[in-house]
Amino acid sequence: MSSALNKLTIQQAHDGLKKKEFSSVELTKACLARIKKRNSELNAFITVCEELALDEAKKADEMIKKKKPFDGSRSKQKMLLGIPFCVKDAICVAGARSTGAAKILDNYIPPFDATAIKKIREQGAVLLGKNNCDAFGHGPSNENSMYGPVKNPYDLTKVAGGSCGGSAAAVADNMCIFSIAEDTGGSIRQPASFCGVVGLRPSYGRNSRYGIMPMASSLDTVGPMTKTVEDAAILMEIMAGRDERDATTVGDKSIKSVKSIKNLRVGVPREYFESEGMDKEVKKIVEKKIKSVETHRNASIKIIDVSLPMTKYAIPVYYIIVPSEDSSNLGRLDGIRYGVRAEADNLYDVYAKSRAVGFPEEVKRRIMIGTYALSAGYYDAYYRKAQKVRTLIIQDFNRVFEQVDILLTPVSPFPAFGIGEKKDDVLAMYLADVFVGPAAVAGLPAISVPAGKTKAGLPVGLQIIGPRLREDLVLKFASLCEKTK
């Protein structure tokens, strides 16, 4: 069995460790062996912490031997003890180099854990390393990483998606048991769809963002990328909750409060299927999946056609609000207190040169768009206008959630595209987020679950969007969708 330990889910690994079928060191070594075999090809990791991982695994094994960490109710058990995981590089982890996939932080070792990671590590999870991503989460293809693109495990000529391409590829290729990632406008869901794994963007405010490299503060969320919906729920229970260090966090922890999803009214918004550039095969796979859910024997699901007419405005809203907040947040990266400082004679040149060599093109584009959109005279026309349209997008969802309990849509209009295919077309790249942007702009929870594969063998995801703070409903329903064929 030991050769396949890396393929286990959190629940399976937990059960195996509990029954002493294998040790955490064996489990960790299986993941490290897979990383060694595959990372040079996939490029899913920027940093691998082999020594640290084995050390943490040894400690976990000692704890399993001496204490009783698995006793008691599930909320008291150390569910993650001894389980190897990885983290998107734009999230700070104490003692592990965290570059955010940009050279300006090439040598940065955070002195602290992000709150979400602290909670995971307090459970005794074993850190394997840091996942490649688009620099600071900017992009849907992982090609904006200064450490090279991540390749799709299903086809090495295709992108893994972005921004969390490394996390998605690592989970899909069984280089880890799970990964913790970050979703601002689709960064968890879209790569999850491209790589055939489960990826949950929680409601805005559900999990603390303290310690993530902030991108767009009014949209950023931290969420899990896993092999099953059950695993995503386990991680959400651990990460969710109020944090003094993130004033947007809500205290309510009802991740699993819903008991039954019988007689659920499920909305299918037509705008998500009539979009320009929609791949016919993707449309068919998603429609077939929805049909399979509808006809599921015990669920009595009612599918209802709905309309979200503001859908097409989510991307233009996104590409004003996000670069604006990006440009402000990235002001802290100037080569002064940490990171890589360029040689220059005066202070201004230190800033300008450090940022010129330390940021990739997309980061620079966003800083320029954002600085422009926020500048005096343009603020009303761009940022304020976008914030008003954002209100209308939220109202659009509120109205639909009076008719239905949950929404089903595709995650992406197309399967994973070729590496380099969209690289020079900025707008085409931005439009890849057309179906994942709206829920992000509205702060809603949304998950990507595998729906099927194209004839060429590329995974396609189904997106489930729920009302705010209804992760319980989203997860319960996702688990049903996971089961239907």
Partner 1 sequence: MARLELNEKEKKMYAEQLSVVLDYVEMLNEVNTDGVEETCQVTGLEDVVRSDKVEECPPDVEEKIIGNFPEKLGNLLKVRAVFSEET
Residues lying near partner 1 in the complex (CB under 8 A): 107-109, 111-112, 204-205, 218, 244, 247-248, 250, 310, 312-313, 316-317, 319-320, 327, 331, 334-341, 344-353, 355-356, 359, 364-365, 367-369, 371-372, 375, 382, 384-392, 394, 426-427, 430, 442-443, 468
Rounded to the nearest whole angstrom, what is the least distance from the CB of residue 411 to partner 1 in the complex?
21
Q: Which residue has the tokens 């996942």?
A: 131
What's 168's DSSP letter? H
Rounded to the nearest whole angstrom, what is the least distance from the CB of residue 181 to partner 1 in the complex?
20
Taking Cα atoms as reference points, which of 435, 79, 83 lies closest to residue 276? Answer: 435
Rounded to the nearest whole angstrom, what is the least distance from the CB of residue 217 to partner 1 in the complex?
9
Candidate list 23, 163, 167, 203, residue with the active-site label? 163
For CA atoms 291, 295, 298, 300, the dihedral sign is: positive
**Residue 226 in tokens:** 């896993």
Rounded to the nearest whole angstrom, what is the least distance from the CB of residue 110 to partner 1 in the complex?
8
Q: Which is nearer to partner 1, 2 or 254 (CB)?
A: 254
Q: Which is nearer to partner 1, 194 or 401 (CB)?
A: 401
CA count, 13 A, side-chain hemisphere, 411: 36
Give the integer Cα–Cα distance in Å for 329 and 371: 11
Q: Do 64 and 24 contact (CB within 8 A), yes or no? A: yes
**Residue 223 in tokens:** 């969420």
Cis status, amide bond into 163, omega within 30 of 0: yes
88 is catalytic: yes
Taking Cα atoms as reference points, which of 286, 291, 314 lies closest to residue 410? Answer: 286
Give the integer Cα–Cα distance in Å for 422 and 415: 13
Candidate list 88, 130, 289, 422, residue with the active-site label? 88
Rounded to the nearest whole angstrom, what is the least distance from the CB of residue 247 to partner 1 in the complex?
4
Q: Burial level of 74, CB count in 10 A (0-12/13-18/19+)?
A: exposed
Q: Which is nearer to partner 1, 112 or 307 (CB)?
A: 112
163 is catalytic: yes
Rounded to the nearest whole angstrom, what is the least distance from the CB of residue 303 to partner 1 in the complex?
28
What's 288's DSSP letter? H
Give the integer Cα–Cα distance in Å for 296 and 290: 10
Q: Burial level of 152, CB count in 10 A (0-12/13-18/19+)?
A: buried
Candidate list 98, 145, 167, 187, residue with the active-site label? 187
Q: Which is nearer to partner 1, 71 or 425 (CB)?
A: 425
Q: Which is nearer to partner 1, 66 or 348 (CB)?
A: 348
Q: Which is nearer to partner 1, 68 or 242 (CB)?
A: 242
**Residue 310 in tokens:** 């503001």
What's 133's DSSP letter? -
Supply the residues annotated as catalytic. 88, 163, 187
